[in-house]
A = this chain, B = another copy of it.
Amino acid sequence: MKPINVGLLGIGTVGGGTFTVLKRNAEEITRRAGRPIRITTVADKNLELARRVTGGDVKLSDDAFAVVADPEIDIVVELIGGYGVARELVMKAIENGKHVVTANKALLAVHGNEIFAAAQKKGVMVAFEAAVAGGIPIIKALREGLSANRIEWLAGIINGTTNFILSEMRDKGLPFAEVLKEAQALGYAEADPTFDIEGVDAAHKATIMSAIAFGIPMQFDKAYIEGISKLDAVDIAYAEQLGYRIKLLGIARRRDEGIELRVHPTLIPAKRLIANVEGAMNAVLVQADAVGATLYYGKGAGAEPTASAVIADLVDVTRLHTADPEHRVPHLAFQPDQVQDIPVLPIEEVVTSYYLRMHVEDKPGVLADITRILADSGISIEALIQKEAAEGESHTDIILLTHQTVEGKANAAIVRIEALPVVQGRVTRLRMESL
């Protein structure tokens, strides 16, 4: 089937990730989309970089405006960032009747109203899953998954840089400035980290989410924004003593009087799931009237996680253009003729780890016998507890955690262990996954 043609603007981190994932998973993505998604042209000022990343497989151009005017291109992917040339390119692409996929939260938060109005008028899609929380499909969840609900509020850890810094400040008791330097050295913070640490990036994302959650225009200029650069490590410690964690949250709440839209360091009860989102991870918690609270968690940045969202949008647009409406999204995700008959394995062939509990005579050599059987079966031990026998008892419990093995081997070893005269009764066997 005829491929859908994509013009990719910007071959930086996310552009490179998009190119790589689209190539690596081409077969699987085509099975889902119903049609190959082909990057026809890559535009970047740095042609050398573009050549290196693409391996010269595609047309290269240093003129992005030529790409958005190219009649062969169906979808323009804008990964340049910022409000300047990116805005002009997106508006031109729309004007030329192209669908647009973008990861540009700043552009949408600030100029989204104008962009969506133009797209609506022209009958093209502007898809932006990658603009909020990277690879987490939160835009789709808010826009489609929760469409039955009156959304009451949402609160998100939507900036990985600041969450990494806050996690480190708490774990190591270090001041902000020191952790920021560490984050920069590790590549978690940019050389000029202002947009991240001052909360501007989070406010862009909160603005976008508020619009789709409540059905209101983008109002970024009204958002209250406070970052973490003035946060004192002592407050993180006091908060901890009181049972709280401090996170930089983007919050949007609907009240009778209007909308609260705000980004600031926030104390959250430490027991909440979202309080335990650490490091560079993102999470968005949504409170809605029918479903209650739902939470979406994953990597909010990085080449491939963001590419995952960009390509999901490409698949969405492609499905729309390929199938008749009734078949837009295949029932089972993959096109019906692309379902594969892969067998389900019998449980004996499953690979997992085990928790084994056995009741044994409390005498020397028992543990040696048991571990010998496991070693003979090629099963290695990760951890072990041997209880002392209680006063007056001749037997005690041994608990073993194994490394991964094939279930059939574990079963055979258990039979041999149960046959030992020093082992009383059956071995309790539970499976274990490190996830």
A residues in contact (CB < 8 Å) with B? 17, 21-22, 24-25, 28-29, 31-33, 116-117, 119-120, 123-126, 129, 134-137, 140-150, 155, 210-217, 219, 222-224, 231-232, 234-235, 238-239, 241-242, 244, 246, 249, 251, 254-255, 257-262, 264-269, 272-274, 276-277, 285, 288-299, 304-305, 307-312, 314-316, 320-321, 324-334, 336, 338-347, 349-351, 353, 355, 357, 383, 385, 397, 399, 401, 428, 430-435
Contacts and interface: CB of A to CB of B under 8 A. Distances in A.
B224 A350 contact: yes
A262 B333 contact: no
A150 B23 CA distance: 12
A43 B149 CA distance: 24
A239 B428 CA distance: 12
Number of copies: 2
Nearest to A299: B292
A334 to B, nearest CB: 4
A221 to B, nearest CB: 9
A216 B265 contact: no
Contacts of A142: 333
A129 to B, nearest CB: 7
A262 B347 contact: yes
Secondary structure dominating the interface of A: mixed
Contacts of A343: 219, 222, 258-259
Of A285, A296, A310, A435, the most chain B CB neighbours within 10 A belong to A435
Shortest beta-carbon contacts, A-B, top 3: A137-B145, A148-B311, A135-B291
Of A31, A231, A249, A331, the most chain B CB neighbours within 10 A belong to A331
B224 A326 contact: no
Given A216-B342, A342-B259, A141 B137 contact: yes
Contacts of A244: 355, 432
Contact of A336 (B21, B32, B120, B385): B120
Given A238-B399, A308-B146, A316-B144, A273 B268 contact: no
A267 B430 contact: yes
B141 A141 contact: yes
A26 B345 CA distance: 46
B25 A268 contact: no
Contact of A144 (B137, B212, B241, B258): B137
16 contacts: A17-B290, A32-B147, A117-B336, A136-B294, A137-B294, A148-B308, A216-B339, A238-B385, A249-B433, A258-B342, A261-B345, A264-B430, A266-B433, A273-B277, A273-B297, A325-B328
Nearest to A208: B332
A12 to B, nearest CB: 17
Contact of A333 (B212, B224, B267, B333): B212
B25 A259 contact: no
Given A331-B120, A430-B246, A430-B266, A304 B277 contact: no
Contacts of A328: 320, 325, 328
Nearest to A261: B344
Contacts of A277: 273
A347 B199 CA distance: 15
Contact of A339 (B24, B217, B310, B333): B217
Contacts of A350: 224, 260, 262
A289 B17 CA distance: 12
A385 to B, nearest CB: 7
A245 to B, nearest CB: 11
Contacts of A234: 357, 397
Contact of A297 (B123, B239, B294, B401): B294
Nearest to A328: B320
